[in-house]
Structures are given as structure tokens and as C-alpha cells.
Structure 1
Amino acid sequence: MLPADFPYYFCGLPFRAHQVPRKLRWLLAQGDIRPVLKGVYVDVRVPDTPELRAAALRLVVPPEATVCGPAAAWLHGIDTTALSAEPIQALWTFLERPTTEVDGLKVTTREATAVELAKHLPRPFALSSIDALLHKGMRIDDLRTASAAYFAADSNSQAAQIVRLADGRAESPGESWLRLRLFDAGFPRPDLQVRVEGGNRVYRLDLGYPDRPIDGRCLGLEYDSDAWHSSTKQQLKDETRRTELEALGWHIISVRRTDLWGSYPALELAIGSFLCQHPRLPRRW
């Protein structure tokens, strides 16, 4: 039980929409509650924890069912942003699946979940979710072993391509989406979390080509999220950092979320111009 003055609604427990039918829209408009799952809500001051996610799923998943799909990845600890642009929808199955238990709930294993996501999610979210599972500790060899039951390693299917591209070094969905943009444009596969030695400090770039210098400079790409790179102070700090990296022989391209979504190919053209390579266009997503 949380302190009485902390959450006002159901003592911090997740609840179904039908439990507050007339007040739901008002509470959402007031910013007092937030969706946890599609159709399940909680007080905004309740932190997102594994226990909260499991409690939310118990409200909608039948007792003998196995949680699967994006809901399974979410229960395994993956951030919602990596899975979908919308609230997660509870999905379950009564069919036989490789399963494990998370906080008392039957859920598909991380490897089985990853294969399912690779097959069925839109490509950007398929890659970002599998990258996130690998970052959380799933082994790439275990993923490849699990995927062998569904498709050949050299298959050209979406799932096979996503598994080949997956890399647990990606630290945010934006980095995964950026890497997929590079792949779709036909650019070489970049290195991740590139270390750049510079005097008294070490810089780290999200993506880069340290072994492909052009005119004495290497190309680095950084995904700047709105949450951490929007204020004037943050932008001045980023500009100073890019200037310092330029002095160390790195050309840095800063990428925002709006650069990754939509049909305008400015990002691919900028990268291709530096690498002296025509990008493969049009964009696929």
C-alpha cells in the first residue's frame, strides 16, 4: 500500500477503464492518470516498474494464457517507445510456446518473443525491440538458434534481415531506427558506440565509420532525442562537443526524430554526400 497522499486512484494499483467510466476522459485531460496498457490506467505518480506491468497484465490476461508479442517484450522490461508509437496492447495465446515466468505470469521466452516481433512488427519497431532485448541480456547466439526454426539464416524475409541487423550495443530506439535507415539506403554497416580519444577525455558516438576516413575525416552520427537535446543549454553543449570532435577529425551529423520518419531523404543525401555514395531511394518507411 502506498501512502494515502500519493496516488488518489485505487491506491496506486492499475485499473480498467470501466471502473471510472464517466471520469476517465476528465482524469486523462487533467493529467492525473496515464495509460499503462491499452484500456488499463494508473495514477501518473506511480513509477513504471516490472511489478506494475505484471499487475496491469493480470487485469486482462486469462489465468492459463501465455503473454506474447509486444506485451511479452514489455513484460521482459523493454521500453514502450521501442515497441510501438501507441500504448501496448495485451496479447496472449493458449497455444504451445517456449515459455518462462515473470512475476507469476506465463510469458514467451525472450528469444521466442524476439522472433515473433521480427516477423510481425513494422520494421523500425522490430529492430528497436530486438536491439533492446539484446541490450537487456538476451544472447545473439540464442536468438539465432531460436530463429533457425522459423527461417533460414540467408533468407531475405523481414524477420531474417532484422535478426542479422540486430545489435545489443544500441542504447535507444532512435539509434536502432537510424541504423535501419543506413541499411535501407545501402550504406556500409556502421560501428556502434564508437570511442574517440581526445586529450583529457573520451568521446563516444552512437554510430560511426572509424575505418572509412574521407579526406582525412571520419563520419559520426548521433541521435539527439527531444528529451535530452531540446533546451538552449543542451544545444549549446552539443554544438561545443561537435566542434571538439571536428578538431579530432570527425564530421558529425546530428539526427533528430523528425529526420528518421517520413519520406524526405535529406538524411540519406547528407550521409551519401560525405561518403561519396548515392543512397538507395526512395525511403522505405
Structure 2
Amino acid sequence: MRAELGALRDKQFGVFTTAQARIEYTRAELRARLHRGDWVPVFHGVYREATAPEGPELRVEAARLSMGLPILIAAYDTAAELHGFSVTERNATHVLGVQLSRSKHLVVHRDRLDPGQVTSINGVSTTPATRTAIDLARTLNRMDALATLDAASRLGLSPDELSEELTHHHRRRGVRQAAELIDLVDGRAESPMESRTRLQCVDAGLPHPELQLEVPTPDGPRRLDISWPQYRIGLEYDSVAWHSGMHAAARDNTRHNHLATQGWTIFYATAQDVFHRPESFTEPIRQAINRALRTAHPHH
């Protein structure tokens, strides 16, 4: 890349406009680089080099240049990316503003934001962490919303801070959902899927579980993602294609064997289970809890 455009690119998180490129390149040269795939469109009239990583800083700056604004504020999922607690697959860049977007990959929210509510991360203006977490807790589906709140909590946001921020969202869409989920926030959840699995258990009416419980075994302590220690029942989220029930029982798993000798029953859930058939693990857990209660209180 020629020197002047390269200097502009470096000041703009790796992006540049058609007008900036035309200072040093002819229209034919610009077309040729696009045709070869050396340069890639980000938003209308804004490009990046094909080798440039398409992070949130680059995308927000591309949106700002495309919209011709002196400043642009990242929000919702894009703000969560910047803060480090995004849990959803990115399919759009989210910003605050009033202009209509020309791209389905750029979502402009017309939310009100006081000047004092803007913060900066890596030189990009964005909604603060608490505001971002509550915006997403209100608007995402319940499983993604709790996963977002847990991830934000893991990075240091407390339920009290989240509750305080929620008071500024009075009468906005999804406030009730956000309030309910703040009561379930637990920063000990180690992944978004653990959060989603836990919510399916709670929504199925199971007792609220313990997270990351360490159980002593002859090989040293073993940690359970989700557990009900009073019933010696554990639930592990398994990202590989294992399923609760007989598959789990057949696994040659030292941890499972040691826990089983101490009276623990361990269930497993996969992504398919969590998203599409939660009853495949919540119902066996419910039955196991009922059996444990009957054993503890045989005459009731």
C-alpha cells in the first residue's frame, strides 16, 4: 500500500474510504485491487485489506467513516465485544445514531445516551459495561441474556451495579426479563453454554444449583460444572457428542467412577440437548432428586 494511504489506514484501525484511496490510486487501480480480493468492502465506500483482522474497532471505525460522522458510539453486541463479554455469534455491527443504515450488517439504534455515559476502549467510543450488559439482558433471548450477564459478572460487574443500571431503563422493552435474570447471575459460570444449561434447569423448576463444586476423590478434587450437592447429583456440559443416560454411564471416565463410588449421579448435556431438548437432562435430574428425597424420607 502506498505511503499516504497506509498512514491513514494505520490511524483508522485498518480501514480507508474510496476518497482516501483515490488520493494515490486511480479508479482503475482501486477496481483491480477489489477484483483481486486484495481490498475488501466493510461498509459503503469503506474498505480494509484482506489480511486485516475484522475486529470491533475496525468495524466501528468503518461505520463511522461510511456514515461521515465525527464520532460514533458502539452499542449492544458490538459494545460487548469491546468490553470482552460478548457471547453471541457476530452477524452485525451495532452503533447508536439516527441515520438509517445502508447495510444489513450495520444496525443503528436510536437509543438515548447521556454524554457522561460514553466510555472509550482502545480508542473506540462505546456504551459503558453496565449499560451494555443491561441493553443485552433486555433484548437477547433468555439463554443468551443470562450468558451475557454471567460473562459480565465474571469480568467484575456486580448484581448491585446491574440492578442500579436497570433503574435507568424504566418502561423499556425487556426490563422484566433483565430483572429476573439479574437474580440468577453467577460469575462462576465458566462458559456461555454452562450459563444456558443452568437456565434450562432453573426454568424446568429444578432447585437452584451450585456451580464449580469441588468434590474430593482419591485422585484429588474433581470439579462439577453444575451440581445439587444435597442430593449428590451433578450435571456436566459436554461439548463433544456425548449424551446423558446410558452413554454417560458407559464412559470410561475416572472422575465419573470415583464420584459414583461416593454415591454421586452424574448427568451430561450437549448443545443439542440445551437448545432443543432440555427435558432430556432436566427430567432425569428431577427423577433423581425425587428418588433421593424418597430415600431420605421413606415414610413421607
Same fold (TM over 0.5): yes
1:67/1:91 contact within 8 Å kept: yes
Q: Aligned equivalents of 2:213 and 2:225: distance in 1?
A: 7
Task: State the partner residue of 1:66.
Answer: 73
Of the candidates 261, 265, 278, which is equivalent to residue 275 of structure 2? 261
Q: Could you tell me which amino acid in structure 2 is paired with residue 255 of structure 1?
A: A
Q: CA deviation at 1:43?
A: 6.1
2:15/2:58 contact within 8 Å kept: no
TM-score by length of 2: 0.67
Q: Aligned equivalents of 1:174 and 1:40: distance in 2?
A: 35
2:73/2:95 contact within 8 Å kept: yes
Q: Could you tell me which amino acid in structure 1 is paired with residue 221 of structure 2?
A: V
Q: Is the deviation greater in 244-253 or in 126-135?
A: 244-253
Quick check: 1:75 aligned with 2:70?
A: no
Task: State the partner residue of 1:191.
Answer: 210
Task: State the partner residue of 1:141.
Answer: 160
- Structure 1 runs of 4+ with >3 Å offset: 13-16, 18-24, 39-46, 235-238
Q: Aligned equivalents of 2:129 and 2:188: distance in 1?
A: 17
CA distances 1:188-238 after superposition (whole Å, capped 9, x unpaired): 11011111112341111111111x22xxxx0111111239x89xxxx9987
User: Highest CA radius of gyration, 1 or 2?
Assistant: 2
Of the candidates 82, 90, 93, which is equivalent to residue 96 of structure 2? 93
Q: Aligned equivalents of 1:166 and 1:21: distance in 2?
A: 47
Q: CA deviation at 1:55?
A: 2.4
Q: CA deviation at 1:139?
A: 2.2
Q: How does 1:151-230 map to 2 (within 5 A)?
A: 157-210=176-229, 212-213=230-231, 218-226=232-240
Q: How many residues align?
A: 236
Task: State the partner residue of 1:282.
Answer: none
Task: State the partner residue of 1:246.
Answer: 260
CA distances 1:80-115 after superposition (whole Å, capped 9, x unpaired): xx22xx424211114324221101111111111111
Distance 1:184 1:66, change over 3 A: same
Distance 1:181 1:90, change over 3 A: same
CA distances 1:24-53 after superposition (whole Å, capped 9, x unpaired): 7xx9xxxxx9x9xxx99886895x9xxx43
Q: Aligned equivalents of 2:253 and 2:49: distance in 1?
A: 39
Q: CA deviation at 1:69?
A: 0.6
1:14/1:56 contact within 8 Å kept: no
Q: Could you tell me which amino acid in structure 1 is paired with residue 113 of structure 2?
A: E
Distance 1:43 1:255, change over 3 A: farther
Task: State the partner residue of 1:102.
Answer: 121
Q: Percent identity?
A: 28
Q: Could you tell me which amino acid in structure 2 is paired with residue 258 of structure 1?
A: Q
1:71/1:91 contact within 8 Å kept: yes
2:120/2:126 contact within 8 Å kept: yes
2:197/2:237 contact within 8 Å kept: yes
Q: CA deviation at 1:14?
A: 6.0
Q: Is the deviation greater in 263-272 or in 69-78?
A: 263-272
Q: Could you tell me which amino acid in structure 2 is paired with residue 67 of structure 1?
A: A
Distance 1:102 1:156, change over 3 A: closer
Q: Aligned equivalents of 2:250 and 2:279: distance in 1?
A: 26
Q: CA deviation at 1:263?
A: 4.5
Q: CA deviation at 1:181?
A: 0.2
**Partner SS state of residue 193, structure 2:** helix
**Structure showing the higher helix proportion among its residues:** 2
Q: Could you tell me which amino acid in structure 1 is paired with residue 62 of structure 2?
A: L
Unaligned runs of 5+ in 1: 2-9, 28-32, 278-285
Q: Aligned equivalents of 1:14 and 1:223: distance in 2?
A: 39
Q: Aligned equivalents of 1:196 and 1:133: distance in 2?
A: 27
Q: Could you tell me which amino acid in structure 2 is paired with residue 134 of structure 1?
A: S
Q: Aligned equivalents of 1:156 and 1:40: distance in 2?
A: 38
Distance 1:109 1:194, change over 3 A: same
